[in-house]
Amino acid sequence: MIPKQYKATKTCVYCGKTYTASAPNQLYCTQECRSKAIAERQEQTRERQNKNARLLYLDKKMNARANRVDIKNKSIAKICQEANEHNMTYGQYIAWLEYGQKA
């Protein structure tokens, strides 16, 4: 028995166009859509990795700052209250703690 050629009407997962698939596992209408979809996925992965690296960097920075100015065991509310007592904003107060009054 000769296998019938596979044919099915599908929707391209990239551009959304309806096309005739020649294989059951075909996802894209053209080779172009397939390459674009793959390139986009790689771009998203790269962005996600960049974001993670940035978050990790910020986290390290905040930890280093917390160690320097000894705010690790203080709540934000407590720091805000102290800042108020010094007539400063939270940011100003943290900078003042960190760098001294010259900041």
Q: Between residues 23 and 58, which has the closer beta carbon with respect to Zn ion?
A: 23
Least spacing, CB of residue 18 vs Zn ion, in Å? 10
Amino acid at 95: A
Amino acid at 7: K
Tokens 């709540």 — which residue?
75
DSSP state letter for 21? E
3-state class of 71 per DSSP?
A: coil
How remote is the C-alpha of 65 from its chain's centroid?
Answer: 23
How remote is the C-alpha of 39 from its chain's centroid?
Answer: 18
| Residues forming the site for Zn ion (CB under 5 A) | 12, 14-15, 29, 33
Q: Between residues 35 and 92, which has the closer beta carbon with respect to Zn ion?
A: 35
Q: Between residues 13 and 53, which has the closer beta carbon with respect to Zn ion?
A: 13
Least spacing, CB of residue 11 vs Zn ion, in Å? 9
Least spacing, CB of residue 28 vs Zn ion, in Å? 5
